[in-house]
Structure 1
């Protein structure tokens, strides 16, 4: 296999400069009016990382078999890969739905290229199955889902967000520094045009939790007019991707989705 020319790799000085720029972004002060969840809730998120380890020790669960199968695209959260949503995908598949990855690998923030690729992926799935697709987005993935649905409502049956910060200030969370470090831009200045609080022209449901240690509950629940319904769960933020409660809530929303 031919090796890549050295000229295709960034120079060490350029890498260092970019790392310094991103570190500076991550160290700016939070606006005084913005507040994330309490520290005790953030600590509670740490236990959720053990979920894949302890899951085999716990009693399994199964979803009822669906009478209303859907095509579902799962969109991962900030800094995560679709594999983090694999358990949800497996349970939905066992119930009779067809799940699809978003096709972008790790979620490292928005860009024009990412949005173009995601729009193409959505159009491809719609054409392949001749069905509108349900977009289920965890955290930042839900922001992607809402924005894509605004551009291609004809391809979307429904949007379900899980702990996604679409309402209020984008600094009302405990991950904005990490976001700026990974994405390389200020959380309130994305490189794409977006008006996060405006509801997509399709049914849009916001799953949120008062136990969320990452995203402020009001930011994830939104206000009337910013979504069609808000559904409160009791999971952590990380638990949205793999807890039985969250998976059942998503399955219920799929059952409530109109066919076609």
Structure 2
């Protein structure tokens, strides 16, 4: 949080100044900001900044605008910036009722310029380094070792017959999700296969997926959880955006779920070979459905040593809502379907979201040792005695 605190301080000043520009009083702008940040993971740090905010009668909005963009650029690409855009939009919506037409037009132009600058920053996500791609060879060991490891994976979560649909990765079929399905079934979840052969991540699968989702929903009379690995997570998010009334939650595993149109990957040529055409000819409408955040709980599992997909594309904005979580694991992209940590966190997350718990509450102390957030927390506590570790 320390490295983002300066950004939030400057953004709060900028957002308030934008409100003033559009006819709001400082107190009215602060009220909107307090409400917007109330459920933010770092609200304890941010709310006092808003409470103590003071601005000149004519703040230099151009300077504050440039400072915000500079800080975002220095922090680098991040899905979290969508939260800033939503807050600015909320302020403009409320301010438009108080301001003049001219004020509204000026403020709107500032907002759209800010949105464009953020989009430019998020285009800078690099493709995975060559070293990570070479590390993908360890997936052979991961898939071979899961047969020996599987019997020892804890089976304490109670699925209670809750329906779960699993969608395989790009170029994968139902065998790809066999260990995840087997594990969830052993815990009492009712799992369902993809049953459409190899997943080529094309929009023509969607009507059949919608039909399958509806069938499962009608059979159980309950909302369905969807788990998607890699390209499968793309469909999980689209289903949740289209049918939030039938989807309990989604869980994505190493899935590029935003910014896919401009995503850089070292396997670009391979993807084009199997598609038979340039990736520039992607279905734009299909991919645009990935950008909105669905109104259901979202859990994203990712690995920073992913050799195929840039890991930043695999994270959703935790600051957007309090039921969005990003969980880092150790492993390769190709081995995530046979990763013991992935199996456990999948079950834990499904159970936590169904029962209204946090991931920490659903994960035992012994299991936490398998995740980077445990070791990062230990390192921070050792280095900074008064540093408050951010919740995962």
The two structures have a TM-score, normalised by structure 1, of 0.79
What is aligned with 1:85?
Answer: 177
Give yes or no for contact 1:110–1:190 (8 Å, CA) kept in 2: no
Displacement of 1:38 in angstroms is 1.1
Q: Map 1:183-194 to 2 at 5 A.
A: 183-187=275-279, 189-191=281-283, 192-194=285-287
Determine whether 1:206 maps to 2:297: no
What is aligned with 1:13?
Answer: none
Give yes or no for contact 1:104–1:118 (8 Å, CA) kept in 2: no
39-48 or 66-75: which moved more?
66-75
Take 1:64 and 1:207, find their aligned partners in 2: how far apart are those partners? 20
Take 2:146 and 2:296, find their aligned partners in 1: how far apart are those partners? 35
**Over aligned residues, Cα RMSD in angstroms?**
2.3
| Superposition misfits of 4+ residues, deviation over 6 angstroms | none
Displacement of 1:178 in angstroms is 2.6
Give yes or no for contact 2:234–2:255 (8 Å, CA) kept in 1: yes
Q: How many residues are matched?
A: 227
Determine whether 1:104 maps to 2:196: yes
Give yes or no for contact 2:125–2:310 (8 Å, CA) kept in 1: no
Displacement of 1:58 in angstroms is 4.5
Determine whether 1:216 maps to 2:307: no
Displacement of 1:73 in angstroms is 0.7
Among 204, 207, 214, the residue aligned to 1:123? 214
Take 2:215 and 2:222, find their aligned partners in 1: how far apart are those partners? 11
Take 1:56 and 1:204, find their aligned partners in 2: how far apart are those partners? 29
What is aligned with 2:146?
Answer: 55
Displacement of 1:180 in angstroms is 2.7
Give yes or no for contact 1:125–1:133 (8 Å, CA) kept in 2: yes
Distance change in 2, residues 1:207/1:54 (3 Å): closer
Give yes or no for contact 2:157–2:348 (8 Å, CA) kept in 1: no
- Which is strand-richer, 1 or 2? 1
Task: For residues 96-125 of structure 1, give each alpha carbon's deviation from its aligned partner in whole angstroms, at most 9, with x where no partner exists.
Answer: 1111112212101212x3110111011111
Take 2:280 and 2:337, find their aligned partners in 1: how far apart are those partners? 25
Give yes or no for contact 2:138–2:332 (8 Å, CA) kept in 1: no
Distance change in 2, residues 1:189/1:158 (3 Å): farther
Q: Map 1:164-203 to 2 at 5 A.
A: 164-169=255-260, 170-187=262-279, 189-191=281-283, 192-195=285-288, 196-203=290-297
Distance change in 2, residues 1:59/1:114 (3 Å): closer
Among 128, 146, 162, the residue aligned to 1:70? 162
Task: For residues 164-219 of structure 1, give each alpha carbon's deviation from its aligned partner in whole angstroms, at most 9, with x where no partner exists.
Answer: 11233542333333333323454454335332232112111111111211111111
- Which is helix-richer, 1 or 2? 2
Task: For residues 208-247 of structure 1, give each alpha carbon's deviation from its aligned partner in whole angstroms, at most 9, with x where no partner exists.
Answer: 1112111111111143439822111112112221110010
Unpaired runs of at least 5, structure 1: 1-31
What is aligned with 1:241?
Answer: 337
Displacement of 1:68 in angstroms is 4.9
What is aligned with 1:228?
Answer: 324
Displacement of 1:89 in angstroms is 0.9
What is aligned with 2:132?
Answer: 41
Take 1:107 and 1:72, find their aligned partners in 2: how far apart are those partners? 18
Q: Which has the higher contact order (CA 8 A, sep 6+)?
A: 1
SS in 1 for 2:181: helix
Distance change in 2, residues 1:120/1:208 (3 Å): same
Task: For residues 82-102 of structure 1, give each alpha carbon's deviation from its aligned partner in whole angstroms, at most 9, with x where no partner exists.
Answer: 101101111111111111112
What is aligned with 1:23?
Answer: none
What is aligned with 2:380?
Answer: none
The two structures have a TM-score, normalised by structure 2, of 0.54
What is aligned with 2:239?
Answer: 148
